[in-house]
């Protein structure tokens, strides 16, 4: 919806009673370019891990996902997050957890992080019993639903791809032809949201049973060591590692290309919290 109004005939520019610009036009407004990451707490990090599914869904166990969990727990604690991990929750329990989180007081927190590790399909991810739209997750943390997180960054890291495993005879082409995506209405006009997706829809995403997924492993490694970089630069490096380093050697190589979507309004740097981030060496958990 693009809005316009007739000219203000007096000034030549329209400065209306409908649209207000805080700060005069042309004024060099001083603003903090960075999110305040010096609150008492870093904030909560919720990990929803799914590696087993109800048999009716016909989804294979996601071997290797516990490795991703362990790496995420380590790096998020290193960054000062209060980490809670949930394994194989039913959809209703995920929503209960999100509602519960939204009702908590985050006023002394810097931010919040939510991580989903699961199978996915066109526009959705899987709980233990059913698929759901990722929009449900950030809907709970909107500025209206969770006012103590208003103005603070809400970070979503999604390792969830399209369909089942390649080696089970589910051909790539089926998925490549779909219009799958993590749903259109994911932002719903909310600022301060960052979503990092492991892969673009319908395309290859690797997972290795003993070392986890390249997206999560690269993310953890970069988060661990890049204490002075802002999150978008960190994620650009993650994109590089995954997109350049991982490629099928089929006749037409297939790449995994992570994707960042952001309505962040400031730069985000995980500045050091007391009693955390004691080492800059990734412990290779």
Active site residues: 119, 161
Contact 195, 189 (CB under 8 A): no
Is residue 4 close enough to count as binding a copy of itself by CB under 8 A? yes
Tell me whether residue 57 or residue 243 sits nearer to a copy of itself (CB atom): 243
Task: Specify the stretch interacting with a copy of itself by CB under 8 A; choose among 8-16, 43-51, 83-91, 108-116.
Answer: 8-16
Contact range with a copy of itself by CB under 8 A, out of 36-44, 49-57, 83-91, 211-219? 211-219
Taking a C-beta distance cutoff of 8 angstroms, is the pair 30, 66 a contact? no
> Residues 57, 74, 89, 260: which binds a copy of itself (CB under 8 A)?
260
Residue 50 binds a copy of itself, judged by CB under 8 A: no
Residue 24 is a binding residue for a copy of itself (CB under 8 A): no
Toward a copy of itself, which CB reaches closer, 78 or 207? 207
In the region spanning residues 137 to 156, those forming contacts with a copy of itself, defined by CB under 8 A, are none
Q: Which of residues 168-187 bind a copy of itself (CB under 8 A)?
A: 170, 172, 175, 179-181, 183-185, 187
Q: Which of 36, 84, 228, 245 binds a copy of itself (CB under 8 A)?
A: 245
Helix axes 231-245, 214-225, angle to 10 degrees: 140
What are the C-alpha distances in Å from 264 to residues 23, 75, 153, 179, 261?
21, 22, 7, 26, 9
Q: What's the CA gap between 223 and 210, in Å, rounded?
A: 21
Pick from 187, 220, 183: nearest CA to 201? 183
7 makes contact with a copy of itself (CB under 8 A): yes
- For residue 158, the minimal CB distance to a copy of itself (Å) is 12
Q: What contacts 24+ positions apart, CB below 8 Å, involve 170-173?
A: 172/202, 172/204, 172/254
Examine residue 36 and tell whether it contacts a copy of itself (CB under 8 A). no
Other residues' Cβ atoms within 10 Å of the Cβ of residue 139: 18
Would you tell me the crossing angle of helices 214-225 and 65-78 to the nearest 10 degrees? 10
Q: Which of 71, 88, 101, 205 binds a copy of itself (CB under 8 A)?
A: 205
What would the DSSP string read from start to end of 135-188? HHHHHHTSTTT-GGGTTS-EEEEEEEEEBS-GGGT--HHHHHHS---S-GGGST
Per CB under 8 A, which of residues 107..136 are in contact with a copy of itself? Answer: 119-120, 123
- Does position 9 interact with a copy of itself (CB under 8 A)? The reply is no
Site for a copy of itself in 212-241 (CB under 8 A): 213-214, 230, 232-233, 236-237, 239-240
Determine the size of the site formed for a copy of itself (CB under 8 A): 95
Among 203, 271, 272, 277, binds a copy of itself (CB under 8 A): 203
CB atoms within 10 A of CB 90: 13
Residue among 110, 114, 80, 81 at smallest CA distance from 100:
114
Q: Specify the residue, 39 or 63, whose C-beta has the smaller distance to a copy of itself.
A: 63
């Amino acid at each position: 919806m693009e809005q316009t109004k007739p000219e203000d005939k007096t000034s030549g520019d329209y400065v209306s009673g409908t649209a207000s610009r805080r700060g005069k036009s042309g004024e060099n407004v001083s603003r903090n370019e960075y999110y305040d990451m010096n609150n008492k707490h870093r904030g909560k990090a919720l990990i929803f891990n799914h590696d087993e599914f109800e048999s009716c869904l016909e989804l294979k166990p996601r071997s290797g996902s516990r490795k991703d969990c362990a790496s995420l727990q380590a790096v998020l604690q290193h960054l000062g997050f209060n980490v809670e991990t949930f394994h194989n929750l039913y959809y209703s329990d995920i929503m209960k957890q999100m509602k519960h989180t939204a009702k908590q007081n985050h006023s002394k927190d810097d931010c919040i992080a939510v991580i989903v590790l699961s199978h996915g399909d066109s526009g959705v991810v899987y709980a233990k019993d059913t698929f759901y739209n990722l929009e449900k997750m950030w809907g709970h943390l909107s500025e209206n639903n969770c006012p103590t997180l208003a103005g603070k960054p809400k970070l979503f890291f999604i390792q969830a791809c399209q369909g089942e495993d390649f080696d089970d005879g589910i051909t790539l082409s089926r998925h490549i032809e779909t219009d799958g995506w993590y749903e259109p209405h994911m932002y719903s006009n909310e600022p301060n949201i960052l979503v990092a997706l492991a892969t673009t829809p319908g395309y290859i995403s690797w997972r290795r049973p003993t070392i986890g997924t390249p997206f999560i492993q690269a993310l953890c490694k970069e988060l661990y060591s890049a204490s002075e970089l802002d999150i978008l630069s960190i994620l650009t490096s993650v994109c590089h590692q995954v997109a350049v380093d991982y490629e099928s050697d089929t006749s037409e190589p297939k790449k995994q290309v992570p994707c960042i979507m952001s309505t962040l309004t400031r730069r985000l740097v995980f500045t050091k919290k007391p009693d955390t981030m004691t080492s800059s060496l990734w412990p290779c958990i």
